[in-house]
Each structure stands twice: as structure tokens, then as C-alpha cells.
Amino acid sequence: LGVVAGNVHDNNVYHQEIAGRDNGLWQFIPTGDGHYEIVDIRHGKALVAGDNYDGRVYHQDPRGRDNAKWRLVKVGDERFQIIDKKHGYAIVSGDVPDGRIYHQAPGRRSNAVWALSIESNTVDAIAPRELVV
């Protein structure tokens, strides 16, 4: 399962099967300050934490906001926590499978750790260079 945008743009992201879906592919675009905007391939919208902390991750235009900038914290081989710049919280799946994505303190929870894989290297911004193995 992975982070997936809606089949049609609905401002939400989901924790679902990603196989064969372009709305589960994300570009990591450097913002120049050690963070990335994470933009989906299908809709061109970014993962964005709430402007005010509300525990949610949205699917919106980033507009240069700090809550649309994410840093990768390596916790293992090709495994990362994804932490927003504004609030310092992580992208997290549900503690029990519920199809939702949350914005919470990561702690040592396994549901706050994401495996990143490169699906294509045809666009320079598809993933941070340090992920290219």
C-alpha cells in the first residue's frame, strides 16, 4: 500500500494499493532548502499539511507554503519518515488499516516509515538524487 491521490482530484490522499496507478506516483521537487514538494504525476498537486495543524494531509497546490515542504529522514535502507517543514510532523498511515493518511508525530511507529522506490528516471526531479542507487 502507498500514498495515493484520488482518481479524480478531491483534495484528499489515501492509503491504498498503488500497482498500475499513475495517481500513486510522486515527483520529489527540491525547494532549495533541503526540503521537497511532493507532487503527483496525474493531477500535478502536492502533498500539503494543514495551514493550521489539524492532523490531516491534503492534496493541493503548494504555493510555496512551508506546510507543503517535506524532508526525508532516513530510518533504514530506502526507508524514510517524511516530515513537513512547518509543523514537524510526519505522513502516517492509520494505526489500523483504514485507507486514510494522517499528519502526526512519527515516534518509532512503523506506519510512519515509507519505502521509496524510483519508477522512472526520465525526469530529473522524479526523486531526490540521494535515492538514486
pLDDT in tens, 104-126: 999 999 999 999 887 765 555 44
Give pTM, 2 decimals.
0.87
Residue 4 has pLDDT above 60, yes or no: yes
pLDDT band at 131 (very low <50, low <70, confident <90, very high): very low
Residue 70 has pLDDT above 60, yes or no: yes
d(CA 99, CA 72): 23
